[in-house]
């Protein structure tokens, strides 16, 4: 994939990981590094969420239009305490690819190996 280096992925992650606990930040960077070695391009899509943001997400598909995206109300998500992050994988063109395939499985294996749940 041209133009998307490990450094760029790590830099993108910095913006999304503000207010996330430093140990969780380090685990996310390690996930990105280890996956990159396997030609799996991980991007962090979200880190810390306020309780108000969590309430809004919880409302989706319930009180507001859209699909349900979380089962955690505000105050009940690890995101609210800087202890969680979400990821997506990029395809060879640098676009987010939500197709669950061997890359997702491998990213999950890497995450478990480095201590993520």
Q: What is the pLDDT of residue 7?
A: 96
Contact 73, 58 (CB under 8 A): yes
Q: What is the pLDDT of residue 1?
A: 45
Using a 10 angstrom Cβ sphere, with 0-12 exposed, 13-18 middle and 19 or more buried, the burial of residue 78 is: middle
Q: What is the pLDDT of residue 92?
A: 85
Whether the model clears a pTM of 0.85, i.e. scores above it, the answer is yes
Q: What is the pLDDT of residue 4?
A: 85
Assign residue 75 a region: left if phi > 0, alpha if psi is -120 to 50, beta otherwise? left
Q: Output the DSSP codes for 17-37.
A: TTTS-HHHHHHHHHHHHHHHH
Tokens of 24: 């969780």
What number is the average pLDDT over the span 3-25? 95
Give the Cα separation of 70 and 6 in Å (integer): 30
- What is the signed CA dihedral for 55, 77, 95, 22, rounded to 10 degrees? 130
pLDDT at 6 over 80: yes
pLDDT digits (tens, 9 = 90+) for 17-72: 999 999 999 999 999 999 999 999 999 999 999 999 999 999 999 999 999 999 99
- What is the signed CA dihedral for 64, 81, 46, 44, rounded to 10 degrees? -150
Helices (H) and strands (E) in the chain, counts: 4, 2
Q: What is the pLDDT of residue 62?
A: 97
């Amino acid at each position: 994939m041209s133009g998307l280096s490990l450094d760029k992925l790590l830099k993108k992650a910095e913006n999304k990981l503000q207010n996330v606990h430093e140990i969780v930040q380090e685990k996310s960077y390690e996930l990105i590094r280890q996956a990159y070695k396997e030609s799996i391009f991980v991007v962090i899509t979200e880190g810390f969420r306020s309780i108000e943001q969590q309430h809004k997400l919880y409302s989706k598909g319930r009180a507001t239009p859209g699909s349900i995206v979380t089962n955690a109300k505000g105050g009940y998500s690890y995101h609210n305490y800087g202890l969680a992050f979400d990821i997506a994988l990029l395809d060879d063109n640098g676009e987010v690819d939500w197709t669950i395939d061997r890359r997702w499985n491998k990213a999950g294996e890497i995450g478990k190996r480095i201590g993520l749940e």
